[in-house]
Amino acid sequence: MRITAKGITETNKHLQEMVARVKSLKPAMEAGALDIKKLVDDAFYKSIDPNTGTAWQPLAESTIKKRRQGSSKPLIDTGRLRGSIATKAGDKSITYGTNVVYGGPHQFGTKKIPQRRFLPTDFSTGPASATAQKIVRRILNYITKGVAK
C-alpha cells in the first residue's frame, strides 16, 4: 500500500506567502484606519458614544446661544474637532486621535463639561465592537488571501 499526498508544493507556497504577509499587516491596517475614521465620523453625525452607542448629553440652552452657527448638535459648531481626527496605520497597529486641545475635556469630561466620548476606547461593545470585528476580518483576509477586504 502507498499513500501519496498531493498539493504539498502548492500548500507550502501558500503558507510561505501567509508568513510573509504576517510580518507587515499594513494594507489591512490602512483599511482598518479608515474603518475607525468612519466610526468616529458616525459618532459625530449621530451624536453618540462610539463605544456604547448611547446618545451624548444635549447642550444647555445657554451653550447653544453662544455658538457661532447656533447649532444644538453637541461637539459640532465650527467642525474643527471633527475635522482634526487623524488615523495612522503601522505594520501591526492603528493610531488615532486629535491634536485639538479641547478634545480631551470633551472625551473625558470635567466638572463643567459632560463627557461626550467621540473616540473609541472600548472595542468590546456597541458600534466600536462591530468596527473591531470588521478590522479582524480584514486582517484574516489579508493574511490568508492577500486582500484587505
Record the cell numbers describing residue 57, joined without a space. Answer: 448629553
Confidence check: pLDDT of 121 > 80:
yes
Confidence check: pLDDT of 131 > 80:
yes
Confidence check: pLDDT of 67 > 90:
no
pTM above 0.95, yes or no: no
Dihedral angle sign, alpha carbons of residues 56, 126, 38, 84: positive
For residue 67, give Cα distances in angstroms to 30, 59, 75, 83, 98: 36, 11, 11, 18, 21
| Interval 61-76 mean pLDDT | 86
| Interval 69-85 mean pLDDT | 89
